[in-house]
Structure formats: structure tokens, C-alpha cells
Amino acid sequence: MDGVVQKKPSFKSKQNAEVVLSLPKAQNTELAPAPEIGLDIIYQDSYLAVINKPPGITVHPGIGTTSNTLVHALLAHFPELPDDAGSDRPGIVHRLDRDTRGLLLIAKTSESHRRLAALFQNRKIRKIYHALVWGNPGPARRLAGYIRRHPKERRLMQFSPVATENSRQASLFMKPLKTKEPVTLIEIELETGRTHQIRATFAALGCPVTGDTLYGDMDKLCRRFKIGKARRAALEVQGLCLQASQLEFDHPFTGDNMKFTLPIPESWYPEKIFL
């Protein structure tokens, strides 16, 4: 301003001051197909596809990720995907976190996108997840509350049993499958589909998903559960233990019941990890 760089957001300019703004260069948002990225197609027809998303790949471009996303791989197989969700999200109806693996539903036409989105909105799609969590989250039960973005750490979501400012209702049903200290393998049926819902909910219980570096401090958890180096290494090699294992819905065009299921990774069973 008037030849002086101002860095303070609270700075107040004077009347008739000359202001020069430096804007960042616009990013190239053109999506190029990436056939080199493998795609595990579980099912497809003229209207939709179901794929098995591997861990470690982002679903669509965003801040800090402009290439090598799942969308780039999808365009190599389905070049005519509709962009109803946005030009950078062709075919995307719902999403999974970068390190979450499992089943993802893709719309192949605009009408299909509209109908599938309505099924999700009206909770007509059954979604089953499996996760390995720290500790023992207790007996099978419904976990209902509210979720919002963390007011200070914007990468995180916050789960609370009571409503807070800008929060939205969130609920799921959980049941334990296998427990062996210090972890429990659980099955989760999502009733709502909030960002980081499973991860934030179980972190709030004190039982974060294993391998979740965002919601769980590995050093603190190892001290809490008295985990030595060998057992820690056995857990760390698994990565984020969260999988979208089942999708069930009525086909939006044919009405046929569609059910897709992935097996729980063998290495997630507590008795397999800690031999």
C-alpha cells in the first residue's frame, strides 16, 4: 500500500491510498485421464459403476492435490462421466477419505447422478464399514450425536453427544466383532454420512481408528496401552484400518436389489496382528 507491503490483517488504510494486490496464478483445472492408475471395477452397467478404492489415493482434486486422483483414473475408463457434482468431480456421488479403502459408487450419466444422490440424501443406501480401533468401545449400540468442524484445527471434525454451534446430526450403529488387547475389530452401519464421522466419533470415545494419525497420537496410545516396539510396528504396517465394506441399494433404474461386499482384510483380525 503506497509502496509499502502490509502483512497485518488488522491494518486500516487511509483515504485515497493506492492499493496493489498480487493474486495467485490460477490453477489449471483441466482433468486429464490417467490410465496408469489402476482401477478395481467391481460392477458396472450403463448407469453406474462400483469400484474398490485403494488406500492412499484422493477421490477428487482439491487444495494441494491436483493430479493422480481417483477421478483421473475414472476418466481413463469412463470418459463421458457427468460433472453434476462439479467440473472437478465427474461421476462422484459420495466420497471416501484418502486413506480409507473400499466401495465407491460412481454415476455414469446425469440422470443417474441425480437419482443416486437422492438415494443417499433419503438414506436409501445401506453402508457398512469395518474398522480396527484402539481399546474396547463397549457393547453393540447406536451412537448418536452431533458433528462439526473443529473451531481451531480446521482439518479435524468434532463429535459431541449434544448440539453445538454449526453442528449437524450424526448417527451410526456399532457392534464389536473381535477384541484382543489393545484393539477391537468392529462393524459399523452408517445412518448419516458426515465428513470423518467414524473417525471423529470413535476418537471422541477414546478409541480412535488404528493408523489414524489425524485423530490419534501413536506415542500417547502406545504408552496408554503399554505397547512395545514390536507390537507397535505390527499395527503401523496396517495403515488406516477403515474400510467401506458393503453397499446395498435398489437400482435407481431397474429397481433390482444391488448388494456389494468386500471381505474384511485378514490382517485386521487382532489374533493375526499379535501372534
In the structure grid, which three cell numbers stand for residue 48, read together?
A: 453406474
Radius of gyration of the chain from its Cα atoms, rounded to whole angstroms: 22
In sequence order, the 6+-apart residues with CB closer than 8 A to the CB of 224 are none
In sequence order, the 6+-apart residues with CB closer than 8 A to the CB of 140 are 173, 174, 175, 176
Among 2, 84, 88, 97, the one annotated catalytic:
97
Query: Do residues 208 and 202 lie in contact, with contact meaning Cβ atoms separated by under 8 Å?
Result: yes
Helix (H, G, I), strand (E, B) or coil at 223: helix
Cα atoms found within 13 Å of the Cα of residue 201, Cβ hemisphere only: 25
Q: In terms of Cα–Cα distance, which of 230, 187, 236, 190 is closest to 210?
A: 236
Query: Do residues 218 and 228 lie in contact, with contact meaning Cβ atoms separated by under 8 Å?
Result: no
Q: In terms of Cα–Cα distance, which of 128, 141, 129, 209 is closest to 175?
A: 141
Active site residue 97: yes
Q: In terms of Cα–Cα distance, which of 102, 111, 54 is closest to 260?
A: 102
Q: C-alpha distances in angstroms, 251 versus 82, 96, 103, 173, 202?
A: 18, 21, 16, 24, 32
DSSP class of 151: S
Q: Which residues are catalytic?
A: 97
